[in-house]
A and B are shown apart, each in its own frame.
Chain A
Amino acid sequence: MRVDFVGKRAGLFWLALKTALLTVLTLGIYRFWMKTRLRRWYWSAIRPGGHGLEYTGDPLEKLLGFLIAVVVLTFYLGIVNLLLMFVSFSVFAASWVGYVASALGIVPLLFYARYRARRYILSRTRWRGVRFGVARGAWGYAARGVAHWCITLLSLGLLWPRMTFWLEKYRTDRTYFGSVRLVQGGRWVMLYPATIPFVLSLLGLIASLIWIFWAMPVVPDWVAFERDAQRLFEEIAAGGSPVIDLNAPWRLGLLPFFAAGLLYGAIHYRWVCKRILANNKYAFGLSLQSRLSGARVAFIYVFGNLIAYLVLISGLVLLAGLAVRLLGLDLAADMLGAIDAGELVLPGWIGLLSFVMLYLLIFALWGAAYSAFVTFPLIRHVARTTALPQTRGLSSISQRARDDFAEAEGFAEALDLGAAI
């Protein structure tokens, strides 16, 4: 059974822009509706066997979940952070200890929130009228997540694939479609091939660092170079081309090359792991197959982000120009340098308000561009490269009960996890 993807980029872009504008106008409240509407669109565009998925999540339940999370988390974030800061000041006489402790304290909560968010999203996903679902186990997931991170750190990252596999297995083995449970098969060592681009780039980077700075330094005589640096800069600034004693300086170009390789390696690992894991997932009478391409995903990330950031930066430059023109240079500089600038006079706060609105509008455009040029092609690629070779089991599946949990993805939302989409 094939998975189709329908839906046009333009349609999505308008939906994303419209909802982002409403989010801006409502000071963020509409974001629950924005998320819901975008998910409905994406879900319905993915059509395994010709029938679109259905997203049944409700914006109001997201709002409710968020409110619940706020009630619980404000006390955690407010009081606990304050106490940590106090201890940090009084025992260690520095603030960084407090920040680190506060960040570490939130790690288990992040795992917890991720699991809950996934459980919420799948429980609100249907295909052919039948619900997906995830069993309880968020705290178990948090405990395992923390333990696996510790092991991975202790092994200097060598056991990373082990963490990826076991955490995915924990999630998958608790996932249901109707009455049937999914199983993650395979072994953790099967993920090592996905690390190859990353490992090669890392080795290349280390080797070239040794080559450039130690074995055969680019600057053979550093002391002399430092002594003459001032004079050399002046000569270059004056348009001259002084002779600098360098040893094959072209090798410096290796560093950005391998750094880009590291970035590609990270994307490759994340998505190729998804492919390998998907190819080893099955349920009774059902199997999954993926032909996802790591290179294609990296291409989407790079070019999609390029377009989205071009939109953002050109918008901000335009806005800065407008501010200078309309408000005068001094005032614009004051506003950009924070409102702290003392007692400043404004030409009425309508000017300020429209400036703020324009600023937020640019972020709305950026969000819409990101949806259209990153999320859209990514989901389309994943959908089109996925298939269900075996579907015999479908006829023996029946509906599962509704998973009625109040807080929706409130914790994930409140902690800015974004829940992937």
Chain B
Amino acid sequence: MSKGFDGFGACYFDGDRPVPQEVSLHIASGVLQIGLDDGRIIRWPVKEIRRLPDRAGRDRTLLCRAGDPLTRLEITDQEMLGYLPAVRRRVHSVRRLRLLAWGLAAVAAVWLQLLYLIPLLSDRLAEYIPPEGERALGEATLEQVRMALDETGMGALPFCDAPRGQAALDRMTERLAPGSALPVPLSVSVLDHPMINAFALPGGQVVLFRGLLELAETPEEVAAVLAHEMGHVARRDPTRHALRSAGSIGVLGLVLGDFAGGAAVLFLTERLINARYSQLAETEADVYAREVLRQAGVAPTALALAFERMRAAAGVQEDDGEDGVIAHFLSHPSLSARIEAALRDPLPPGTAQPVLPVADWLALQSICEG
């Protein structure tokens, strides 16, 4: 039983010379016979014939024989495909073990880098950055923050610096100084923005927002937030964070590549990894803040009051929103846990002293009205 096919336009490439050879095509007893002009007949068992995938143009089909990487048969008679049972199988063989080995090595390299080497190195190096460098970096970053937050588009967000308010703020900083043991001199300023927040920058820059001063009902709450930010300065968290993201952004960009919308994924992953470190940093800054407050004669429970008020202002009732998947992306640990920790740490009764006289507190509250 033999079946012939239209060999017009079909050709055979011997895998050595780039010269097409005309052919006649027959299938007999499960073997494709490729007859060449010089009388030779090439025999390919039909079960070993594969079609090369994803080819444009339906008029010609390229076939090969499994295990033979070089020779090719190009056919025009599409009817023949019906007689080839295994054309759809894979053409290439895979070396799985090697792939697996390099895959594991790559995962290990990235994991080692992101979770151990880069954090370790940045923690060490942060100790050696000279104070001037750190300070210049902090100032440059502060400029960027002021530019970014400015909504008028006409320049940088202004500082609040009414002289009496600034004096009150300096007094508060001095009150907290005894227990602080900072590596660099501190400089505290207030930005004219309604955000309820505060942050620390490299080189001992601490910035409070107007929104925070407006929200606080006692100077102790402001002092608590200030002490917390001093904790970040003492640990050099901002500098370490800047170094760490310089390293990890490069590595992550490499791994995630440029597939659709990769930038968004890059951003989320960077957050996820950094959140782990900053949660630890926040907790330690809280511990530090409680110690500084205690030494200054201020009840560490003020920290709890400040957090409580921030939470109420943010409109989050309980913790149900922040313990799920989202919590991993947030850089701060659960607020409830931080509040509870602060409440467990009261001063002995009768030892607390006001952190600022009433007149100073009023001046601080109107620091933006200069």
By a beta-carbon cutoff of 8 Å, the part of chain A in contact with chain B is 6-8, 11-12, 15, 20, 23-24, 27-28, 31, 37-38, 40-42, 44-45, 47, 51-52, 54, 56, 58, 60, 63-64, 67-68, 70-71, 73-75, 77-79, 81-86, 89-95, 98, 102, 127-130, 177-178, 338-340, 342-346, 349, 356, 359-360, 362-364, 366-367, 394-395, 397-399, 402, 413-416, 418
Question: What residues of B have a CB within 8 angstroms of the CB of A78 in the complex?
Answer: 113-114, 117-118, 247-248, 250-251
Asked if A394 and B18 make an inter-chain contact with CB atoms under 8 angstroms apart, the answer reads yes
Known contacts: A77-B254, A360-B260, A416-B258. The answer to whether A89 contacts B133 by CB under 8 A is: yes
Asked if A71 and B257 make an inter-chain contact with CB atoms under 8 angstroms apart, the answer reads no
CA distance A359 to B267 in the complex (A): 15
> Beta-carbon contacts of B233-253 to A below 8 Å, as 1s and 0s?
000000100111011101101
Quick check: is B354 within 8 A (CB to CB) of the other chain?
A: no
Stretch of B49-57, B153-161, B205-213, B292-300 with 4 or more beta carbons under 8 angstroms from chain A:
B49-57
CA distance A78 to B253 in the complex (A): 11
CA distance A95 to B139 in the complex (A): 12
Asked if B62 and A79 make an inter-chain contact with CB atoms under 8 angstroms apart, the answer reads no
Question: What residues of B have a CB within 8 angstroms of the CB of A416 in the complex?
Answer: 257-258
The one of B53, B114, B136, B137 that contacts A40, using a Cβ cutoff of 8 Å: B53
Question: What residues of A have a CB within 8 angstroms of the CB of B69 in the complex?
Answer: 56, 402
CA distance A20 to B329 in the complex (A): 27
**Residue of chain A at shortest CB distance from B12:** A129
Asked if A11 and B70 make an inter-chain contact with CB atoms under 8 angstroms apart, the answer reads no
> Beta-carbon contacts of B246-272 to A below 8 Å, as 1s and 0s?
111011011111111110110110010
CA distance A79 to B251 in the complex (A): 9
Asked if A95 and B137 make an inter-chain contact with CB atoms under 8 angstroms apart, the answer reads yes
Quick check: is B28 within 8 A (CB to CB) of the other chain?
A: no
Q: How far is the CB of B132 from chain A (nearest CB, A)?
A: 6
Q: How far is the CB of B9 from chain A (nearest CB, A)?
A: 8
Quick check: is B17 within 8 A (CB to CB) of the other chain?
A: yes
Question: What residues of A have a CB within 8 angstroms of the CB of B255 in the complex?
Answer: 70, 74
CA distance A15 to B53 in the complex (A): 12
Asked if B105 and A52 make an inter-chain contact with CB atoms under 8 angstroms apart, the answer reads no
**Residue of chain A at shortest CB distance from B239:** A89
Interface size on B, residues (CB 8 A): 88
**Residue of chain A at shortest CB distance from B54:** A40
Question: What residues of B have a CB within 8 angstroms of the CB of A128 in the complex?
Answer: 13, 18-20, 72
The 5 closest A-B pairs by CB, nearest first: A363-B260, A7-B56, A129-B13, A93-B136, A6-B57
Asked if B134 and A31 make an inter-chain contact with CB atoms under 8 angstroms apart, the answer reads no
Stretch of B33-41, B123-131, B179-187, B360-368 with 4 or more beta carbons under 8 angstroms from chain A:
B123-131
Known contacts: A73-B254, A395-B17, A397-B18. The answer to whether A346 contacts B259 by CB under 8 A is: no
Q: Tell me what chain B mostly uses at the interface: helix, strand, loop, or mixed.
A: helix
Known contacts: A128-B19, A339-B329. The answer to whether A67 contacts B248 by CB under 8 A is: no
**Residue of chain A at shortest CB distance from B255:** A70
Question: What residues of B have a CB within 8 angstroms of the CB of A129 in the complex?
Answer: 13-16, 18, 70-72
Q: How far is the CB of A15 from chain B (nearest CB, A)?
A: 7
By a beta-carbon cutoff of 8 Å, the part of chain B in contact with chain A is 11, 13-20, 52-57, 59-60, 62, 69-72, 74, 92, 94, 98-99, 102-103, 105-106, 109-110, 113-114, 117-118, 121-122, 125, 128-130, 132-137, 140, 202, 239, 242-244, 246-248, 250-251, 253-262, 264-265, 267-268, 271, 311, 314, 316, 320-322, 324-326, 329-331, 335
Q: How far is the CB of A120 from chain B (nearest CB, A)?
A: 15
CA distance A70 to B262 in the complex (A): 17
Q: How far is the CB of B53 from chain A (nearest CB, A)?
A: 7
Q: How far is the CB of A56 from chain B (nearest CB, A)?
A: 8
- Give 19 CB contacts A-B under 8 Å: A8-B56, A11-B56, A28-B262, A37-B54, A52-B55, A52-B62, A54-B72, A78-B247, A82-B247, A89-B243, A102-B250, A127-B18, A128-B72, A129-B72, A343-B314, A359-B261, A359-B264, A395-B19, A398-B17
Question: What residues of A have a CB within 8 angstroms of the CB of B110 in the complex?
Answer: 70, 74
Asked if B109 and A86 make an inter-chain contact with CB atoms under 8 angstroms apart, the answer reads no
Extra 7 A-B pairs, beta carbons < 8 Å, given A28-B256, A78-B248, A85-B243 = A11-B56, A27-B265, A45-B57, A82-B122, A89-B134, A130-B18, A339-B329
Asked if A54 and B19 make an inter-chain contact with CB atoms under 8 angstroms apart, the answer reads no
Asked if A44 and B55 make an inter-chain contact with CB atoms under 8 angstroms apart, the answer reads yes
CA distance A54 to B128 in the complex (A): 57
The one of B15, B135, B248, B260 that contacts A20, using a Cβ cutoff of 8 Å: B260
Known contacts: A363-B260, A364-B260. The answer to whether A93 contacts B321 by CB under 8 A is: no
**Residue of chain B at shortest CB distance from A363:** B260
